[in-house]
C-alpha cells in the first residue's frame, strides 16, 4: 500500500489509532465553508429547498436568454419569482412539473418531488427561484434551486457564496463533504466512530476513495486506480457489519481489470465480493450478473 500512503500523505505507523490518523485532503477544510455540498437526502414534502433538473441540457437556451434579458454576462446570479406548472402531456413523465421564469422553461422538479405537489393540470403555483450562471470552456453552465417551503427562502448558496459549477469543482466539493463527514464521525466517538474506524485502510476511509478513483481513471492511471479500488474493497468489507459490502468499488475494479485485459483478476475480484456477501443477497446482484456473463 505504498502508493496509497504517498497519495494521501498518511503516516506509515500502524501503531497510530485510526481516529488520530490524518484523512485524505484534510488541509482542504480551510475552504470548506464556501464549497461544501450538502449530502443529505430527503423525500416528499419535507424537502423545501430543491435543485432543479435539466438546467444545462434542454433549458440551456432558455436560461441563456433569461441571463441576457437581466443583463447577466459571464458569471452571474439571479433571484426572482417563478411558477410551477404541470405538464400532463409530457411524454417522458405525465406527472412532470416544469419551472417557469418570465415564461422560460428553466428546469423541472425531480420526479419524486413533483408527484407530491398539489397543482392542478391547468393551474400554477408561484415560487421563489435562484439561478447561478457561469461561462465555462464548454459553454454556459447553470444551476437553479427553488424554495417550496413556507416563509422566506433559506438558500444554501448566495451571490457571494456560489455553488461549485464545473465538474472539477463539483468533484472537489463532494470530496470535501465526504472528508468532513468522516472527520466528524471519528471525532464523535462511540459506536459511530467505531463503525467508521472499521472502514479505514491505512488511515483513509473507503468512502474517501470515490473521487480519487474516478480522477485516476480519467487520467488513464488505471494501475494506480486499481490500488485504491483494492483498498476501498478491504475497507468496505471490514465495515459491512454482516451486510453485503458496498459493491461500487468491486465494480470499478472489475471494469479496470477488463480494460487491462486481466480476465482472471476480474473473475477473482467478483468472486471475492460474493464470498463475503450474505447468500440471500447474491442472486440478482450486479456483481453476480457480471460474473455470470464472464464465466457462463
What is the Cα 180 distance to its own chain's centre?
A: 14
pLDDT over 50 at 64, yes or no: yes
Q: What gap in Å lies between CA 11 and CA 291, rounded to an integer?
A: 37
Q: Check residue 12 and give its pLDDT.
A: 42
Q: Check residue 240 and give its pLDDT.
A: 94
> If pLDDT is split at 50, 70 and 90, which confidence band does 118 have?
confident
The listed range with the strongest mean pLDDT (29-33, 62-66, 144-148) is 144-148
Mean pLDDT score, 193-216: 95
**Least confident span in 69-78, 169-178, 184-193:** 69-78
pLDDT over 60 at 278, yes or no: yes
Mean pLDDT score, 68-75: 85
> If pLDDT is split at 50, 70 and 90, which confidence band does 73 have?
confident
Q: Do 163 and 132 contact (CB within 8 A), yes or no? A: yes
pLDDT over 90 at 273, yes or no: yes
Choose which CATH entry (1.10.3470, 1.10.10, 3.30.70, 3.30.300) describes domain 49-153: 3.30.70
> If pLDDT is split at 50, 70 and 90, which confidence band does 288 have?
very high
Nearest to 19 by CA among 200, 212, 150, 166: 200
pLDDT over 50 at 263, yes or no: yes
Residues of the chain with CATH 1.25.40: 2-29+170-295
pLDDT over 80 at 6, yes or no: no
pLDDT over 80 at 65, yes or no: yes
- Identify the burial level of 62 via C-beta atoms within 10 angstroms of its C-beta, where 0-12 means exposed, 13-18 middle and 19 or more buried: buried
Q: Do 229 and 252 contact (CB within 8 A), yes or no? A: yes
Mean of per-residue pLDDT scores for the chain: 85
CATH of domain 2-29+170-295: 1.25.40
Q: What gap in Å lies between CA 84 and CA 174, rounded to an integer?
A: 29
**Least confident span in 37-46, 189-198, 265-274:** 37-46
Mean pLDDT score, 88-111: 93
What is the Cα 77 distance to its own chain's centre?
A: 23
Tell me which of 46 and 71 has the higher pLDDT: 71
pLDDT over 70, % of the chain: 84
Residues of the chain with CATH 3.30.70: 49-153
Residue 182, Ramachandran bin (φ over 0: left; ψ between -120 and 50: alpha; else beta): alpha
> If pLDDT is split at 50, 70 and 90, which confidence band does 7 have?
low
Amino acid at each position: 500500500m505504498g502508493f496509497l500512503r504517498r497519495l494521501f500523505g498518511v503516516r506509515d505507523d500502524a501503531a497510530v489509532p485510526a481516529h488520530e490518523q490524518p484523512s485524505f485532503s484534510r488541509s482542504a477544510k480551510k475552504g470548506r465553508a464556501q464549497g461544501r455540498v450538502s449530502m443529505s437526502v430527503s423525500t416528499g414534502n419535507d424537502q423545501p429547498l430543491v435543485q432543479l433538473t435539466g438546467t444545462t441540457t434542454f433549458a440551456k437556451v432558455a436560461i441563456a436568454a433569461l441571463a441576457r434579458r437581466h443583463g447577466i454576462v459571464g458569471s452571474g446570479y439571479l433571484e426572482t419569482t417563478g411558477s410551477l406548472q404541470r405538464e400532463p402531456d409530457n411524454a417522458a413523465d405525465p406527472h412532470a412539473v416544469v419551472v417557469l421564469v418570465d415564461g422560460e422553461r428553466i428546469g423541472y422538479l425531480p420526479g419524486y418531488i413533483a408527484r407530491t405537489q398539489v397543482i392542478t393540470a391547468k393551474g400554477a403555483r408561484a415560487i421563489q427561484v435562484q439561478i447561478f450562471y457561469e461561462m465555462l470552456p464548454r459553454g454556459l453552465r447553470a444551476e437553479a434551486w427553488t424554495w417550496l417551503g413556507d416563509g422566506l427562502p433559506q438558500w444554501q448558496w448566495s451571490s457571494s457564496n456560489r455553488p461549485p459549477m464545473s465538474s472539477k469543482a463539483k468533484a472537489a466539493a463532494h470530496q470535501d463533504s465526504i472528508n468532513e463527514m468522516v472527520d466528524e464521525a471519528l471525532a464523535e466517538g462511540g459506536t459511530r466512530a467505531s463503525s467508521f474506524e472499521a472502514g479505514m485502510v491505512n488511515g483513509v476511509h473507503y468512502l474517501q476513495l470515490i473521487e480519487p478513483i474516478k480522477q485516476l481513471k480519467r487520467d488513464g492511471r488505471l494501475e494506480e486506480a486499481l490500488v485504491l479500488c483494492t483498498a476501498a474493497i478491504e475497507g468496505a468489507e471490514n465495515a459491512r457489519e454482516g451486510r453485503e459490502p458496498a459493491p461500487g468499488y468491486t465494480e470499478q475494479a472489475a471494469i479496470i481489470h477488463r480494460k487491462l485485459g486481466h480476465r482472471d483478476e476480474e473473475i477473482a475480484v467478483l468472486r471475492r465480493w460474493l464470498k463475503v456477501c450474505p447468500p440471500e443477497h447474491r442472486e440478482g446482484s450486479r456483481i453476480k450478473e457480471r460474473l455470470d456473463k464472464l464465466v457462463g
